[in-house]
Amino acid sequence: MSNSSIAAHAMSRRSFLSASVAGAASLTLSACVSSAGDTRAVVERRVPEPEVVTTTSLMYAAVSDAGYDVPAVPFQKINPRYYRQEVADPTGERAGTIIVDTANHFLYLVRGNGRALRYGVGLGRAGFEWAGRAEIKFKQQWPRWFPPNEMIDRQPELEKYRAEYDKRNDQWLGGMQPGIANPLGARALYIFQDGKDTLFRVHGSPEWWTIGKSVSSGCVRMINQDVMDLYNRVPDGAPILVTSGLPSV
């Protein structure tokens, strides 16, 4: 498939995609990648209560999953507000809805009865933000990553991951193999709006130090252990709202 054809499936980072992506193979395309200027800024350590340390250390312990070794997260270096935790639901959305609060770098999964699970997330840099209502059309474990042509054009070092569409078999070829270094991490939830792939994802990331920051090219990134937890709780078709309109916590 020509570069111009693949590029037709990419979207402006300032709005959702307005043209459909052909076939289930489109699920693997993504705009997510780290900023070349990312730095590992360490948040001042806070000492939780002993029982919290035990619970949190278990949540973010090393885990083997589908043949991949996910390393433990040094959670002591992350602001505790971004730890996975159950909180009072501030969203007013129905149970099963995912809400991404871009102002506070939180993702909520509404549980009902006034409660929600809250996760810390990393978000897009200025110029790549997006918002709106959509749905989690599909999910994937240990996905391949196919950066769009426009991203490769900005970052030539990604040329080796350029995708080619195999029309006969209705699939994309190339891209980055699944693995712990893959920008989509251990899980990816694919965001569609009006039946069309937005090219934005909720996905895992090995870069735990970016949680609570805005450094990626638009996607919602989570600690791998957190996205694995979310993946198991969210069915295909779950509604998602991305907004900056929630009250500060």
User: What is the DSSP annotation of 36-85?
Assistant: TT---PPPPP----HHHHHHHHHHTS-EEETTEEEPPP-GGGS-GGGS-E
pLDDT at 32: 66
Q: Where are the domains of the chain?
A: 3-243
- Cα(84)–Cα(107) distance, rounded to whole angstroms? 10
Residue 246 DSSP symbol? S
Q: How high does pLDDT run on average in the chain? A: 80
With vertex at residue 34, the alpha carbon angle to CA 195 and CA 120, rounded to the nearest 5 degrees, is 75
Q: Which helix (H) or strand (E) holds 229?
A: helix 224-233
- Cα(19)–Cα(233) distance, rounded to whole angstroms? 30
Return the structure tokens found at 222.
Answer: 């989570």
Using DSSP's 3-state secondary structure scheme, residue 12 falls into coil
- Cα(98)–Cα(110) distance, rounded to whole angstroms? 7
- Cα(22)–Cα(40) distance, rounded to whole angstroms? 38
- Which amino acid, 81? R
What is the mean predicted confidence (pLDDT) over 61-75? 96
Among the ranges given (53-57, 122-126, 206-210, 217-221), the one the predictor scored with the smallest mean pLDDT = 53-57
What is the mean predicted confidence (pLDDT) over 210-234? 92
Cα atoms found within 13 Å of the Cα of residue 10, Cβ hemisphere only: 21
Q: Which is nearest to 3 in space by CA: 123, 163, 133?
A: 163
- 188 with 30: CB under 8 angstroms? yes
pLDDT at 156: 83
- Which amino acid, 217? S
Residues in CB range of 82: below 8 A, 6 or more apart: 105, 106, 119, 120, 211, 212
Return the structure tokens found at 32.
Answer: 């997510």
In terms of Cβ atoms closer than 10 Å to its own Cβ (0-12, 13-18, 19+), residue 9 is: buried
What is the mean predicted confidence (pLDDT) over 172-196? 89
- State which fold the 3-243 domain adopts: L,D-transpeptidase catalytic domain-like (2.40.440)
Whole-number percent of the chain with pLDDT over 90? 53
Helices (H), 92-223: 149-154
Going from the C-alpha of 185 to that of each of 9, 48, 77, 107, the distances in angstroms are: 22, 28, 20, 17
pLDDT in tens, 9-62: 333 333 333 333 333 344 445 556 544 344 334 344 444 443 444 589 999 999
